[in-house]
Amino acid sequence: MNDGGMDSEKIEDIEIRLLLEALYRRYHYDFRNYAQASIKRRLRQARERQGIKTFSALQDRILHDPAVAARVVRFLTVQVSDFFRDPSYFKAIREKVVPHLKTYPSLKIWIAGCSAGEELHSFAILFREEGLEDRTLFYATDINQEALDAAARGIYPLDRIAAFTENYRLAGGKASLSDYYTTGYGGAVFDKTLRERVVFSDHSLVTDAVFSEMQLISCRNVMIYFDKPLQDRAVGLFRDSLARGGFLGLGSKESLRFSEHAEAFSEFVREEKIYQRRKV
Amino acid sequence: MSAAEHRAVAIGASAGAIQALLQILPALPEDYALPVLVVVHVPPGRRSELTTLFAAKCRVHVCEGEDKQPIEPGTVTFAPPDYHMLVEPGGTISLSADEPVYFSRPSIDVLFESAADAYGPGLVGVVLTGANEDGARGLRAVAEAGGVTLVQDPATAYARAMPQAAVAACRKATVLALGGIVEALLAAGTR
Ligand SMILES: C[S@@+](CC[C@H](N)C(=O)[O-])C[C@H]1O[C@@H](n2cnc3c(N)ncnc32)[C@H](O)[C@@H]1O
């Protein structure tokens, strides 16, 4: 075994901790409890992209140059999403959750970690088709301001539309996806009335608190980036935000199986990772 | 090499993966001492079939990785379709929806690099048949962390490009036919 190798390994871990601490103290972005393996991979990419040799040197740049910090934060908040990602999830929302939601006179729906708005638009379209739109207020939150701005614009590159259209169809869409957008500005511009009842807001599942009582929260592929204690915090936030009998939808490979709040929820559609807040 | 030194096995395979893995995974005994983490490139949505197929043929437990699942010895864990699968230092799985690597999610490099960080010299990394370059960079990371590196002999592989790229990136890798890989894995992880 090579001692030099072992040592440099440990040094890198120390450097990463210090860098994340610097990012938090200087800019209040708290990635300190993100899943280590993922954050390390992203940070390595960010460092390579900046052409910097060590994390210590990157930390120096981050502390003294807000523009570098902003670029690194953009790198750490992964923006990969789709319209109707995992169509069977949206089909289950439509067929199994919507009938319950129809019994409420008014609805608050929270899309947590909404990225550039793909998931939000999917819900807005689904709610319009199910006649729930007028009674619904959506909250779409993320910590990446550029993503929130993009979500509020609702314009997507045309080369992504074919995949979106196929997902929409598989998700049980009742019309044609093209009914909801026009082409222009080099992309597909989604109907702005879909966003009329949406509040976009900068909200962190790590550092921010409950802000309203919800009937449905969809938080997909966000908590996979958190470590276990941080996941517990976020799920606790969802538990406290949900009305009794309200719904929580997760990504297709996430579950509450390992969560300390598991007992506050029951499985509603098991295969789709849709949970219901227990009534007692 | 005694089993005590080894902590986990990571396997990556692409074109021709199923035939190759059918020669390896069913050979592992029920009480195999190491966890086995596997990335196979298949079109999204097909992976659950893979788990079912191997569960029927293996003596070790076979599952598909879920986020924060503890990594257990004697268990083969396949990366789920459309996610990268990583190893956390505490010995649990974490998933990521990061961009595909070499058009592929899951990516072999992503698994291998994180496993090399987590297990260091205790990792056995294996690159099998495939038609792209995924796994080469990851196998080098395994070697740099002091782990054991095995590559399927390209001459015996259904698709050569991937094992060839792995050998090129990691010169000290041991090149073996599938039978040799099975023997090496048994030696590494039999109590
Ligand atoms: C991979 S995307 C998931 C997008 C979408 N929900 C989906 O499943 O397709 C992860 C999103 O989580 C956001 N995010 C990361 N950390 C967050 C936090 N602490 N609070 C809220 N959102 C966060 C990122 O900015 C990014 O937009």
Question: What are B103-113's pLDDT values in tens digits?
Answer: 999 999 999 99
Asked if residue B2 is part of any domain, the answer here is no
Per-residue HEC secondary structure of chain A comes to CCHHHHHHHHHHHHHHHHHHHHHHHHHCCCCCCECHHHHHHHHHHHHHHHCCCCHHHHHHHHHHCHHHHHHHHHHHCCCCCCCCCCHHHHHHHHHHHHHHHCCCCCEEEEEECCCCCHHHHHHHHHHHHCCCHHHEEEEEEECCHHHHHHHHHCEEEHHHHHHHHHHHHHCCCCCCHHHHEEEECCEEEECHHHHCCEEEEECCCCCCCCCCCEEEEEECCCHHHECHHHHHHHHHHHHHHEEEEEEEEECCCCCCCCCCCHHHEEEEEHHHCEEEECCC
* Segments making up each domain of chain A, as ranges: 8-77, 87-277
Cβ within 8 Å, pair A253-B95: yes
Residue B47 has pLDDT above 90, yes or no: no
Q: Are strands B61-64 and B75-78 parallel, antiparallel or unpaired?
A: parallel
User: Is A87-277 in CATH node 3.30.300.30?
Assistant: no
pLDDT in tens, B64-105: 999 999 999 999 999 999 999 999 999 999 999 999 999 999
Cβ within 8 Å, pair A41-B113: yes
CA of A274 to the centre of ligand 1 (A): 18
Asked if residue B3 is part of any domain, the answer here is no
Which domain covers residue B85, as residue numbers? 8-186
CA of A234 to the centre of ligand 1 (A): 12
pLDDT band at B2 (very low <50, low <70, confident <90, very high): very low
pLDDT attached to residue B46? 58
pLDDT attached to residue A181? 98
What CATH number should be reported for the domain holding residue B154?
3.40.50.180
Cβ within 8 Å, pair A258-B120: no
Q: What's the mean pLDDT in A25-38? A: 96
Tally of domains in chain B:
1
Q: Closest to A224 (Cβ–Cβ): which among B89, B95, B120?
A: B95
Residue B84 and residue B95: Cα distance in Å, rounded?
6
CB pairs under 8 A between A and B: 77
| % of residues, chain A, pLDDT over 70 | 97
B134 is known as an active-site residue: yes
- Return the SS3 of B127: strand
Residue A151 has pLDDT above 90, yes or no: yes
| % of residues, chain B, pLDDT over 70 | 95
pLDDT attached to residue A1? 47
pLDDT in tens, A92-129: 999 999 999 999 999 999 999 999 999 999 999 999 99
Asked if residue B91 is part of any domain, the answer here is yes
pLDDT band at A242 (very low <50, low <70, confident <90, very high): very high
pLDDT band at A155 (very low <50, low <70, confident <90, very high): very high
B48 is known as an active-site residue: no
Q: Closest to B67 (Cβ–Cβ): which among A9, A78, A254?
A: A254
What's the ipTM? 0.91
Q: Token pair for residue A122?
A: 């999917």
Work out the mean pLDDT of chain A and round it to a whole number: 95
Question: Which chain B residue has its CA at the smallest distance from A2's CA?
Answer: B146
Q: Of A13, A17, A36, which to mutate for an interface test with B (greatest number of B Cβ within 10 Å)?
A: A36
This prediction has a pTM of 0.94
CA of A167 to the centre of ligand 1 (A): 20
Decide: A204 in ligand 1 pocket, CB within 6 A. yes
- Kindly report the backbone phi and psi dihedral angles of residue A268, in degrees, each rounded to the nearest multiple of 5, phi listed first: -100, -55
Residue B48 has pLDDT above 80, yes or no: no
